[in-house]
Structure 1
Amino acid sequence: MSLSADPRVDFKLLVVGASAGGVSALQTLLAALPDDLPLPVLVVLHLPRDRPSRIVDLLDMRCPLPVREADDKQPLLPGTVTFAPPDYHLLVEDAATLALSVDAPVLYSRPAIDPLFESAAEVFGAGVLAILLTGASNDGSAGVAAVRQAGGHAWIQCPDDAFSPIMPAAALAHAGADAVLPLSSICTRIKGLAR
């Protein structure tokens, strides 16, 4: 599998983080995923912890891939979009398995983006593509740093293009990025992840 922007890259996992404005951004991003995407896609969207989420039902209608909420110890499924459930951190446990955690909130959020990105980097190293979208906190900054330090790639939504620029701007200031793009350009590039 190659990436149109860099055919030397062989990604094994796509991780995505979003917060304020993230529902709309994810609707656009997930609709752009190729229907033959060979990668697992893991998503953290900051959600209220005290009620069930309907995000899977909402986004499953727009995404060409199956969309599901994570279960603890479930297999890492290629060609499937898996969301962190409310009040649990989503982690990559090993190259074949996901885990859910009730560790303390990170920057007031559970699920949080940093634990997902950091665990993905630890397991998959240079095989990780992390995409950080709109949001109103610093969550994601440490995760982007971990991905890049492990040799993975990070694409960050251009703060000027984001509904809330705080999260992408904070990550750029803290960790930099391999690409800073408007959402439309992220969607164009992501089509290069097809088989």
Structure 2
Amino acid sequence: MPGPGRHQTAYEIVAIGSSAGGVKALLAVLGALPAGFPVPVVIVQHLDPRHDTILADILDRQSRLRIKLAETGDLLEPGVVHVAPPDRHLLVDSGGKLSLSMVDKVKFVRPSADLLFESVAAVYGPAALVCVLTGTGSDGAAGAGVVKSRGGTVIAEDPETAEFEGMPQAVTKSVSVDLVLPLDEIAGALVGLVEGTRTL
């Protein structure tokens, strides 16, 4: 029986939301995750909708994980990172299948971390682990609230040290965040939580 404060359920997915300053932050986090990371990762990084992106290629060169631009119908796999393409919401459906959506922007953005987090919460409940990194605005806060309401876990980059404090600050102000960490400690926390060597 888990002791007090220990998470009762093994995590099955990590979802990350970021915006301004996010490419550098994602490089730091993904670059520090081990090759055998045992769960899938899904990412919403706000991108210019008018251009194709090489974000997945940039991240893939710096990470030991396989990183790809998400496509409708992709199945989540351990150790594979799926990045939302520009101007498409990324959603996780039951059975770990991904879908892309052109529904309206949320808080002026598409893709939306809120919608990704809400879909992850609906499918994975307490097995969901989400993280909000640097960014302007408040995307991710509402979705993180849904994750918490389903028993999941929320990590925020420390707004004091984030390149842009808006998104992490919005989450810490509106949600009882489980961990607030400087950027260089986030990958280690994700590994520890997923592998069960770190407790909350």
Aligned-residue Cα RMSD (Å) equals 1.5
Matching of residue 134 in structure 1 with residue 121 in structure 2: no
Letter in 1 for 2:114: D
Q: Residue 31 of structure 1 corresponds to which residue in structure 2? A: 31
Equivalent runs, 1:176-191 vs 2, <5 Å: 176-191=176-191
- Take 2:123 and 2:191, find their aligned partners in 1: how far apart are those partners? 24
Letter in 2 for 1:156: A
Letter in 2 for 1:86: P
Q: Say if 1:34 and 1:194, in contact at 8 Å, map to a contact too.
A: no
SS at match of 2:188: helix
Q: Residue 61 of structure 2 corresponds to which residue in structure 1? A: 61
Letter in 2 for 1:113: A
Letter in 2 for 1:71: E
Q: Residue 82 of structure 1 corresponds to which residue in structure 2? A: 82
Q: Which runs of 5+ in 1 are unaligned?
A: none
Q: TM-score, normalised by structure 1?
A: 0.94
Which stretches of structure 1, 4 residues or more, deviate above 4 A after TM superposition?
5-9
Q: Residue 123 of structure 1 corresponds to which residue in structure 2? A: 123
- Take 1:100 and 1:22, find their aligned partners in 2: how far apart are those partners? 21
Q: TM-score, normalised by structure 2?
A: 0.91
Q: Which runs of 5+ in 2 are unaligned?
A: none
Q: Residue 103 of structure 2 corresponds to which residue in structure 1? A: 103
What are the superposed Cα offsets for residues 25-54 of structure 1, whole Å, 9 maximum, x if unpaired? 000000111211111100000001111001
Letter in 1 for 2:139: D
SS at match of 1:114: helix
SS at match of 1:17: strand
- Take 1:16 and 1:165, find their aligned partners in 2: how far apart are those partners? 16
SS at match of 1:161: coil
SS at match of 1:159: coil
Q: Say if 1:145 and 1:174, in contact at 8 Å, map to a contact too.
A: yes
Q: Residue 47 of structure 2 corresponds to which residue in structure 1? A: 47
SS at match of 1:82: strand
Q: Residue 13 of structure 2 corresponds to which residue in structure 1? A: 13
Shift, 1:174, TM fit: 1.2
Q: Say if 1:32 and 1:190, in contact at 8 Å, map to a contact too.
A: no
Letter in 2 for 1:12: E
- Take 1:35 and 1:120, find their aligned partners in 2: how far apart are those partners? 23
Q: Residue 114 of structure 1 corresponds to which residue in structure 2? A: 114
SS at match of 1:160: coil
- Take 1:157 and 1:121, find their aligned partners in 2: how far apart are those partners? 20
Letter in 2 for 1:102: M
Shift, 1:6, TM fit: 4.6
Shift, 1:75, TM fit: 1.0
Shift, 1:7, TM fit: 6.5
Letter in 1 for 2:34: P
How high is the sequence identity, in percent, across the aligned residues? 38
- Take 1:27 and 1:194, find their aligned partners in 2: how far apart are those partners? 21
